[in-house]
Chains A and B, each alone.
Chain A
Amino acid sequence: MGEKYRIAIVGSGPAGLSAAAHAASIGVSHILLEKTDHLSDTIFRYQRGKYVMATPAQLVLRADLNFDAGYRENILETWNGGIAEAKATVRYNADVKSIAGEKGDFTLTLTNGDTVQAETVVLAIGLQGNPNLMRCPGGDLPHVQYQLDDPTAYIDEHIFIIGAGDAGIENALGLAADPAQANVVSIVNRSADFSRAKDANVSNLMNARDAGRVSTYTEASPSKVEPGFITLEVPDGELRLKCDRIIARLGASAPRKQVESFGIEFTSANNDACPKLSPTFETTKEGIYVIGALAGYPLIKHCMNQGHDVVEFINGNLTLAPADEPILAKKLAELPGGRSVADWLELLREKVEILNGLSPLQMREFLMGAEVHFYRANQVIFERHAIGSSLFGVASGSVKVEINPANPAITVPIGAGSIFGEVGLISGRRRGATIRAAEDCIAVEIPRTAALKLMATSKEARDTVHRITTERTVLQIFGSGLSAADVAGVLAKAEVKEVKPGEAIIKEGDESYDIFIVRRGSMVVEREIAGKPVFLNYIPAGQWAGEMALVEGGRRSATVRAAIRSDVIKLDGDTFRLLLNRKPELVARLRSDMSARRRIGEFIDKEKDNFSGVLDYYTSVAKFLVDQGVGEATDVLLIDEKLCVGCDNCEKACADAHDGLSRLDREAGRTYAHLHVPTSCRHCEHPHCMTDCPPNAIHRGPDGEVFIDNTCIGCGNCQRFCPYGVIRMDKPPPKKPGLVPWLLFGMGPGPGEPDKAWKEANAKHGDGSHKQAIKCDMCSGIKGGPACVRACPTGAAIRVSPENFLSVALLDRGRG
């Protein structure tokens, strides 16, 4: 191995492949080192037939290899062909163990002892090539594998999946999908519940378990692997089970130790930190470059562009602007000051606190998904009650919040560096106040998905958002009587807790006086009357509980428990007491604020002897509705079965208002005390359907409706994520004759969704339409509002929001 290459590229994922292809095409001497015997192992490991997305759509691809959204097989074929055509130098089975030397003279030592000489090194090793291994005895046996290419390839085997994350569950379901394969599939989970996986996967797994297709072992871990058997450690001892194959899906981690051993520093000690990089992808070790997922870019298009760019940089083209430069320049064009893109990025990163933790490269990617606005003094940024889930960061100037809708003159300032709009982001609710620019100001608007991604990738951003949110909620509890400085002590002791459904955060009769803020999810308040819990109230995200005991003293008057899985912030009661002692005027204020909340308690006390039947009704209906997801809903269709004659005019109206497809199934769904919750969208606060929409086609509209736009690719993810089964996959039926021809001459199928036979008989083939996800959009954009309610002849169909419905209104209904 005497040859010294100009560039050694480690890893043949999208980034490495693109770098090698570009080096080959411009004639730079290079070698691509791949540790397996095939290219692009991460994509190779995708389950057979997986559809790979090409996002972000607006980013141009600047690479010598082709890449379009498509199936795993096609993409691999394109790349293999492209690399062969470019005559790139590839060395397979070359697993780099160490890198020694300095810029211009690196020696890469492989695990087989060979060495490679190179002037520069490009690390494109990604994260996935480093799966966490089984560590029990026998974990290195050949029937233990870390991937599953083709679930249909195994028949008549006893297969154990170790690890119940999404990958593990998807593998288990894939293997058990076809009973004809006769596999005995088991999944082993170290914890008691399946909380790490997506809800949709978990519910599919539970169905498979109940149907006897998959066995689950919880609180179990493998302790020994032998040919033909596996031994599991379970809570009550050990089990030795027949096992022909083990698929371990224990996650993957950045090979940080190894990367650091090359002399590369990371941005912080956090688990999710990335290597420190210069704008040319160079690490703190001169001559070593990092691109791709390891650099913090999980998207294939980014990776491929970086592969191209890094070769250009190494080849001396330092003036090359990144592929996203024109897009960013356009976004920043309207700002005053005439800075360059790089200057703007640096300014924003420095000024806006939540962006402090990002690297210049991450800033670029971040800004691709965000907008920067310039507001003149007094310009409205958003209005109270407007729907919006984006987060704003103030880069310069300041804004003012109109905290009193009755008197816009009363405002609270938010200065440069801080954020606003975070309430909509976290709880999915409407804007709580109008915000105007106090002076000329520049603000970054971060859409919900980008903000969530920012919070997921940067711990600093996450902590900052949570700290500011908590601070604002605390200030809100006390109205305008306090300043941020007053509550600093309380906040310092705040802790975030996850609460399981049904778990109580406050118990009636306890002598505690901590305050809880519901950050995510929702709570129900109950009081025990005659041995039975009586539903008192519903607390949505963004509200708080527990201040009554603090102000009034005495024991807790009610129990507060989580309706769904929730996050609460616990604020220390003692610290609060100190604060209240210093500000006695606040106590009086809090008392008057609480009077409304106290009224229902008094009402129930008064009624409990006369109306125990009403209370029972109230409690059980409230419980039923919360179980049906009304607790996390923002707007839900209910059918009063005391009025419903079953004419299905609601369904017909729905279909006729939406391209002939009904988005509701009146008859299906649960019923309690003549209150029916049909299969129809609840417009959840945190829509499950939005969890993983590849084209980002699901949005919350101006009236709070969650809707799917027609960039939907029909992948069905949202349908799987929706726990209420309200999304259907279908394509619009052919256009039918109007009402008058039907009435007079019987032409066409009549009002409502045409039946299947008519659809098929009249279908136009080859018009390119495909199945898309269909769900209720609350008739957004249709004057008059939801057609289902308008078209109900008897008044049975009503739309309600939980905070209005789960209240005294329900009591009145109970009394008839």
Chain B
Amino acid sequence: MAGGVRQVDRSDVRKHEGFLRDGNFRWLWIALALCAVSIAGYLMIDAEPRPRGGTMYGYTLGTIGALLIVWLALFGIRKRAITTGVYSLKAWLSAHVYLGLSLLVIGTLHAGFHFGWNVHTLAYALMVLVIVSGMFGAAAYAVLPERLSANRGETTQRQWLETIRSLDSQLRDAAQPLDRAEADLVRLSTEQTDIGGSLWSRLTGDYSGCKTRRAVEELARTRRSGPANPSLDQIDSLLKRKQETLAQARRHIRIKTILEVWLYVHVPVTFALLAALTAHIVSVFFYW
């Protein structure tokens, strides 16, 4: 008989909170305290001739900042390494966000508000870029999931693709009795369906070249001018259903893209930052 110790701790729903609120904003407070201490130290220590990276205090801040940067960059591994042991990726992300933000203060104080056209300021600029992209990401994570969920309802990406495929085959069947020009209209839609498309389309949701839309528009024109045709009515309703599904799928893609696009800045610039940071440290110790 196994012991009565409970290995799995179910989440207490009352304590259920997102990454920004994790542990009652524990990491926010830690980050704020770190900033407060750094600022207090900056104000109290009278660095000669003026505050900069080369003073004792500057080195201290620089070391803290460099270690933080490396540790923050390791989040990418933490996220993907499913190790055993008690850890919460949510707490890690919370720490990542708040400590990352505190770097703005620590880094700026380390530089002593002293910037120029050199590798040191390059590292600083890259760090700011990473942090700003991260702020965008955190904001997106806080706001967008609700919209993603509302748009998705209970359907999945695969279901959309299946719906579109099935609508296409229904369209092809329905187009059998049509004449050439009308059938070509339907073919516009069935032969080319853009859901993902370019990054621009995905981000803006602008699919102005959408063949289904053109098919709907031209079909409307044909129906206005020609005599009533029940097969065209059916095609019209099929095309409109396809358009709705496409619109829903594209909204989904758009939100998903926004949730991911900042990472294409955040991650590569992090690597650039690590390189610049290395150059900065090496140059400081060898050429200063």
Contacts and interface: CB of A to CB of B under 8 A. Distances in A.
A786 B84 contact: no
Interface stretch (B54-62, B63-71, B148-156, B184-192): B148-156
Interface in B1-41: 1-4, 6-14, 16-19, 22
B82 A657 contact: yes
A108 B88 CA distance: 76
Contact of A799 (B10, B18, B146): B10
A668 interface: yes
- What is the interface of chain A mostly: helix, strand, loop, or mixed? loop
Interface string A774-810: 0000111011111101111111101111001100011
B44 interface: no
B19 A795 contact: yes
A644 interface: yes
Given A645-B145, A646-B148, A794-B19, A739 B80 contact: yes
Given A384-B4, A671-B154, A793 B13 contact: no
A388 B1 contact: yes
Interface in A593-641: 635, 640-641
Contact of B2 (A387, A640, A653, A809): A387
A790 B90 CA distance: 8
A640 B19 contact: no
A799 B11 contact: yes
B141 A794 contact: yes
A795 B148 contact: no
A656 interface: yes
Interface in A431-448: 431
A800 to B, nearest CB: 6
Nearest to A808: B14
Given A671-B149, A782-B84, A798-B16, A383 B22 contact: no
Contacts of B154: 669-671
A809 B12 CA distance: 9
Given A646-B256, A667-B156, A386 B1 contact: yes
A784 B84 contact: yes
B14 A789 contact: no
Contact of B145 (A383, A641, A790): A641
A813 interface: yes
B79 interface: yes
A646 B148 CA distance: 9
B11 A789 contact: yes
Interface string A311-327: 00000000000000000
B86 A702 contact: no
Contacts of A792: 89-90
B156 to A, nearest CB: 4
Given A641-B149, A645-B259, A652-B82, A809 B14 contact: yes
A697 B278 CA distance: 56
Interface in B204-227: none
A346 interface: no
Interface string B79-95: 11110111111101100
Interface string A49-89: 00000000000000000000000000000000000000000
B13 A800 contact: yes
A751 B92 CA distance: 18
B187 to A, nearest CB: 30
Contacts of B79: 649, 791, 793
Interface in B108-165: 140-141, 144-146, 148-150, 152-154, 156-158
A674 B84 contact: no
A645 B92 CA distance: 16
Interface size class of A (residues with CB under 8 A): 35 or more
A793 B88 CA distance: 8
B228 interface: no
A790 B76 CA distance: 15
Contacts of A798: 11, 13, 16
B6 A385 contact: yes
A794 B17 CA distance: 9
Contacts of B6: 385, 703
A382 interface: yes
B181 interface: no
B77 interface: yes
A812 interface: yes
A763 interface: no
A241 interface: no
A141 interface: no
Nearest to B146: A642
Contact of A385 (B4, B16, B145, B158): B4
Nearest to A667: B156
A347 interface: no
Interface in A155-203: none
A705 B2 CA distance: 13
B87 A790 contact: yes
Interface in A664-721: 667-671, 674, 676, 702-705
Given A793-B90, A810-B13, A642 B1 contact: no
Nearest to A431: B4
Interface string A732-763: 00000001000100000011000000000000
A456 interface: no
B3 A386 contact: yes
A383 B88 CA distance: 30
Residue from the set A646, A671, A705 with the largest chain B CB neighbour count within 10 Å:
A646
Residue from the set B19, B77, B140 with the largest chain A CB neighbour count within 10 Å:
B19
B135 to A, nearest CB: 16
A779 B9 CA distance: 12
A162 B146 CA distance: 51
Given A657-B82, A784-B85, A795 B1 contact: no
Contact of A656 (B82, B144, B146, B158): B82
Nearest to B94: A795
Contact of A783 (B9, B81, B86): B86
A578 interface: no
B256 A793 contact: no
B239 to A, nearest CB: 27
B146 A674 contact: yes
Residue from the set A670, A782, A785 with the largest chain B CB neighbour count within 10 Å:
A785
Contact of B93 (A739, A743, A794, A801): A794
Contacts of B144: 645
A643 B16 CA distance: 11
B85 A783 contact: yes
B141 A801 contact: no
Contacts of B18: 640, 642-643, 794-796
A640 B157 CA distance: 19
A197 B93 CA distance: 50
Given A386-B2, A640-B16, A671-B149, A645 B141 contact: yes
B93 to A, nearest CB: 4
A785 B89 contact: no
Nearest to A434: B4
Interface of A: 381-388, 431, 635, 640-646, 649, 652-653, 656-657, 667-671, 674, 676, 702-705, 739, 743, 750-751, 778-780, 782-787, 789-796, 798-801, 804-805, 809-810, 812-813
Closest 10 CB pairs of A and B: A641-B149, A702-B2, A385-B4, A656-B82, A809-B13, A798-B11, A795-B90, A667-B156, A383-B4, A793-B93
25 contacts: A383-B1, A383-B3, A384-B4, A385-B6, A386-B1, A387-B2, A635-B8, A641-B145, A642-B146, A649-B79, A653-B82, A657-B82, A674-B150, A778-B8, A780-B7, A783-B86, A793-B90, A793-B92, A794-B141, A794-B145, A795-B22, A796-B18, A798-B13, A800-B11, A813-B16
Interface of B: 1-4, 6-14, 16-19, 22, 76-77, 79-82, 84-90, 92-93, 140-141, 144-146, 148-150, 152-154, 156-158, 256, 259
Given A790-B87, A794-B145, 16 more contacts: A383-B1, A385-B4, A643-B145, A644-B148, A649-B89, A671-B152, A674-B150, A705-B8, A750-B80, A751-B82, A783-B84, A785-B8, A790-B89, A795-B18, A800-B10, A813-B16
